[in-house]
């Protein structure tokens, strides 16, 4: 297959490019590098079956030749990023999705949208199944990301119904692993970075908010299976093992041997930060035969080793 990946130089996008190439596909990675990095694709620079286009997908996307699939993974995805560039986040969710869908329609290609668990907002149903419509504040600071993805899902289904585009929607829950940026504001790189620098881990709020963390290799396996499935509606992809943020902090302190411990900053609870997040993955289990395989402790050790090498920290 000849496959275009928007956001191909990002954290998830670059791992997806790895997998597609491994499976023998030809890949075109498109990225404007607003949050992605060319370094994420450097290890593939000698490959002739990968090409890179520096382009903002909120502008018309032109690609010569046939395409079999368009995978739309372009978007800021961490609160630090989408609060820094809120308008660009809305535009890539709306205009970028429109352009990517238009390209898929023109090429007769399969289309996949990288959606997010944020479409569920601060959920009132727990765990969250795909049938849950969500509890989102459209005018809050996080609404720029939540509503961009909700609109992207609506547009994807409209193209499926009206233009018969063969669609896939991956609702991605918290994912971590190598190639995350230490400064991207998400809790795993924040905690690992602090631990490797022998600083106290900063826990905002009361630490009782929960998340479910999926290792990147597991997520990519789910995405690849979804791409080759016949499921056109949303599918949750994430790890259903829920834990409190304070528990995560204690785990990382233990695994890294950080003597500085943990500091609570209850006054700094982030506005709109969901109190709970846990995927109901029964649909993925049934339709894709998929569930995560990498345990959190193993995944954190792999991620810590990668960060340790990048920032030059010795044991």
CATH classification at residue 300: 3.90.25.10
Domain annotation covers residue 247: yes
72 and 221 fall within a common domain: yes
304 and 219 fall within a common domain: no
206 and 97 fall within a common domain: no
107 and 190 fall within a common domain: no
Q: What angle do CA 81, 278, 227 make, to 5 degrees?
A: 75
Helix (H/G/I), strand (E/B), else coil: 4: strand
Structure tokens at 228: 């080759």
Helix (H/G/I), strand (E/B), else coil: 230: coil
Domain annotation covers residue 284: no
Domain with 149 in it: 2-175+214-237
Task: Give, in order, the Cα–Cα distances in Å from 114 to each of 73, 105, 152, 167, 177.
Answer: 5, 17, 9, 11, 17
Task: Tell me the C-alpha distance between 313 and 310, whole Å.
Answer: 8
**H-helix or E-strand spanning residue 114:** strand 110-116
Domain annotation covers residue 287: no
CATH number at residue 144: 3.40.50.720
Domain annotation covers residue 300: yes
Task: Tell me the C-alpha distance between 136 and 159, whole Å.
Answer: 24
- pLDDT per residue of the chain (315 residues) written in tens, 0 to 9: 999 999 999 999 999 999 999 999 999 999 999 999 999 999 999 999 999 999 999 999 999 999 999 999 999 999 899 999 999 999 999 999 999 999 999 999 999 999 999 999 999 999 999 999 999 999 999 999 999 999 999 999 999 999 999 999 999 999 999 999 988 889 999 999 999 999 999 998 889 999 999 999 999 999 999 999 999 999 999 999 999 999 999 999 999 999 999 999 876 666 667 888 999 999 999 999 999 999 999 999 999 999 998 887 665
Cα torsion 278, 207, 138, 90 to 10°: value is: -80
Q: Left, alpha or beta for 118 (phi > 0: left; psi -120 to 50: alpha)?
A: alpha
224 and 304 fall within a common domain: no
How many Cα atoms within 13 Å fall on the side-chain side of residue 294?
Answer: 22
Task: Tell me the C-alpha distance between 187 and 245, whole Å.
Answer: 8
pLDDT score of 303:
97
> Angle at which helices 245-256 and 187-196 pack, to 10 degrees?
30
- The reply to whether omega before 88 is within 30° of 0 (cis) is no
133 and 156 fall within a common domain: yes
Domain annotation covers residue 283: no
152 and 301 fall within a common domain: no
Task: Tell me the C-alpha distance between 297 and 220, whole Å.
Answer: 19
Domain annotation covers residue 106: yes
**Which residue shows structure tokens 């894709």?**
288
**Length of the chain measured in residues:** 315
Number of domains within the chain: 2
110 and 169 fall within a common domain: yes
Domain annotation covers residue 249: yes
171 and 255 fall within a common domain: no
196 and 114 fall within a common domain: no
Domain annotation covers residue 11: yes
145 is catalytic: yes
Helix (H/G/I), strand (E/B), else coil: 51: strand
3-state secondary structure 16-42: HHHHHHHCCCEEEEEECCCCCCHHHHH
141 and 6 fall within a common domain: yes
Task: Tell me the C-alpha distance between 224 and 229, whole Å.
Answer: 9
- Which among 145, 159, 176, 215 is annotated as catalytic? 145
92 and 221 fall within a common domain: yes
């Amino acid at each position: 297959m000849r496959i275009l990946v928007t956001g191909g130089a990002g954290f998830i996008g670059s791992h997806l490019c790895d997998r597609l190439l491994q499976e023998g596909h030809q890949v075109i990675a498109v990225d404007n590098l607003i949050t992605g990095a060319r370094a994420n694709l450097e290890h593939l620079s000698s490959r002739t079956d990968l090409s890179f286009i520096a382009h903002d997908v909120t502008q018309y996307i032109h690609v010569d030749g046939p395409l079999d699939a368009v995978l739309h993974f372009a978007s800021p995805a961490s609160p630090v990023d989408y609060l820094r560039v809120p308008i660009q986040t809305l535009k890539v969710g709306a205009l970028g999705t429109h352009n990517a869908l238009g390209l898929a329609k023109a090429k007769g290609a399969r289309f996949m949208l990288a959606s997010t668990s944020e479409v569920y907002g601060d959920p009132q149903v727990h765990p969250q199944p795909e049938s849950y419509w969500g509890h989102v504040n459209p005018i809050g600071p996080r609404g720029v990301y939540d509503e961009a993805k909700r609109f992207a899902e609506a547009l994807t289904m409209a193209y499926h119904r009206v233009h018969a585009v063969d669609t896939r929607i991956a609702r991605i829950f918290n994912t971590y692993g190598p190639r995350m940026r230490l400064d991207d504001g998400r809790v795993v790189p924040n905690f690992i970075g602090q631990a490797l620098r022998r600083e106290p881990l900063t826990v905002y709020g009361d630490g009782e908010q929960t998340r479910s963390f999926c290792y990147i290799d597991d997520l990519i396996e789910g995405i690849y299976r979804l791409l080759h499935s016949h499921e056109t509606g949303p599918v949750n992809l994430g790890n259903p093992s829920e834990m409190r943020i304070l528990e995560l902090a204690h785990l990382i302190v233990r695994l890294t041997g950080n003597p500085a411990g943990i500091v609570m900053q209850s006054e700094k609870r982030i506005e709109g930060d969901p109190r709970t997040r846990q995927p109901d993955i029964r649909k993925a289990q049934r339709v894709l035969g998929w569930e995560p395989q990498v345990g959190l402790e193993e995944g954190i050790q792999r991620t810590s080793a990668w960060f340790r090498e990048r920032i030059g920290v010795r044991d």
